[in-house]
Amino acid sequence: MKLGARIFKTGIAIVLALFLARLLHMPNAVFAGIAAIFAIKPTIYRSYLSIIEQLQGNLIGAIIGVVLVMIFNNNVLVVGLGAIITIIIMLKLKLENNVSLALVTMIALMETPGEHFLQFAGIRFSTLLLGILSAFIVNLIFLPPKYETKLYNSISNVTEDVLRWVRLTSRHAAEHQLLKKDITVLKERMLRVNDFLSMYKEERSYFKKSTIDKQRKAVVYRQMVILLQSSFDILKILHRYEQDLRQLPESVNEQLQELLDAIMSDHEKLILKFLGKIRKDSEIESVQLLEEQRNQLMELFLEDIEAENCLSQVQKFHVMRLLSAIVEYQEQLEHFEKLIDSFQSFHKDKNEVTVEEINED
């Protein structure tokens, strides 16, 4: 397990919550620390949403706790009834992520002494709110995450592995079972890529100009993820229909390899171009193929397959599915190049990409 910024932020939030609670002479400062644990989130925006939801959850738990104690006293059976009511209400309001904290609030209030119940309940409720506020302050100030760096490196690493497998599989050199296992791992890594993209888009800038610049860059990153998905779809098709593709004529197999190699090479070049490591006026040949030329190439594939009569009708459909995926991959690549050209042509001083290349977490 790798130590990340969130682990340290959790510790800092707990310390801050306990320190403030003791500074304000609040009894049972531990509740502030507990609330801080629940409130730590990976992004500032998610932390803000969490505060809103947790305030609602705390209020629901507090109201239920106070009402039940005022009516039935704080019998253990009443506490159990209060927990059931709290859970039902939280689920109805779609606040299931904060059920635990609402229950903590309810139980903390119902276990307060009887003589000055409302006074103690108010103090404990304030203590919990102090913990939530402490977590938000820590999220806002300490160790802000660099999600652009994480996003780029995650995309780059997964793309590299996918394209390596595509090259091997298109040459029928991949070990079938090993690739099957790695496809499952790649799916999980791609989910993480999408999580990083969501977190990057959720990060809020403090100035309007910075927000616009970031939105422009987010469009390019989103296309990088779409392009990664297109290459992964081709890998899955190559793996699934490996035996059918082995039966293709040698000339078709060679043309297929050449086309995939050219497109994948351009995929890699465009990522480097986005980083500014390739000249903006450099030619990306396969991306610039005319639609007519590409259609002629696909027709040639089909003519060779029909002439050899080496595949069944179902197998031909499988090959057609691969060709369709290749066309989709190439079209997404063309769109990616247009986005990069647009990105690098306007507001050049704002559209610099500076990310540290590190190993994927």
Q: The whole model's pTM is what?
A: 0.68
State mean pLDDT over 183-191.
93
pLDDT at 207 over 50: no
Using only C-alpha atoms, the chain has a radius of gyration, in whole angstroms, of 28
Listed in sequence order, the residues at least 6 apart from 340 whose beta carbon sits closer than 8 Å to its beta carbon are 220, 270, 273, 274
Q: Give the model's pLDDT for residue 191.
A: 92
Only one residue has tokens 């990976």, namely 42
Kindly compute the dihedral angle of the four CA atoms of residues 274, 277, 282, 287, in this order, to the nearest 10 degrees.
-40
Q: Give the model's pLDDT for residue 300.
A: 64
Q: What is the pLDDT of residues 268-322, one digit of tens each?
A: 888 888 887 776 555 555 555 545 556 655 676 666 666 655 566 777 778 788 8
Q: How far is CA 141 from the centre of its chain?
A: 23
Q: Where are the domains of the chain?
A: 5-141, 147-345
Amino acid (1-letter code) at residue 236: K
Query: Would you state the CATH architecture of domain 147-345?
Result: Up-down Bundle (1.20)
Which range is least confidently modeled, 77-86, 157-166, 269-278? 269-278
Percent of the chain surpassing pLDDT 70:
77
Grade residue 20 by pLDDT with cuts at 50, 70 and 90.
Answer: confident
Q: Which of 21, 17, 100 is nearest to 57 (CA)?
A: 100
In the three-class reduction of DSSP (H, G, I as helix; E, B as strand; rest coil), residue 248 is classed as coil
Alpha-helix residue ranges (DSSP H) falling in the chain: 5-23, 30-39, 44-72, 76-92, 99-110, 117-141, 147-170, 176-202, 208-240, 242-246, 250-274, 291-308, 313-345
State mean pLDDT over 329-349.
80
- Distance from C-alpha of 126 to C-alpha of 306, rounded to nearest angstrom: 77
Q: Which of 208, 55, 225 is nearest to 136 (CA)?
A: 55
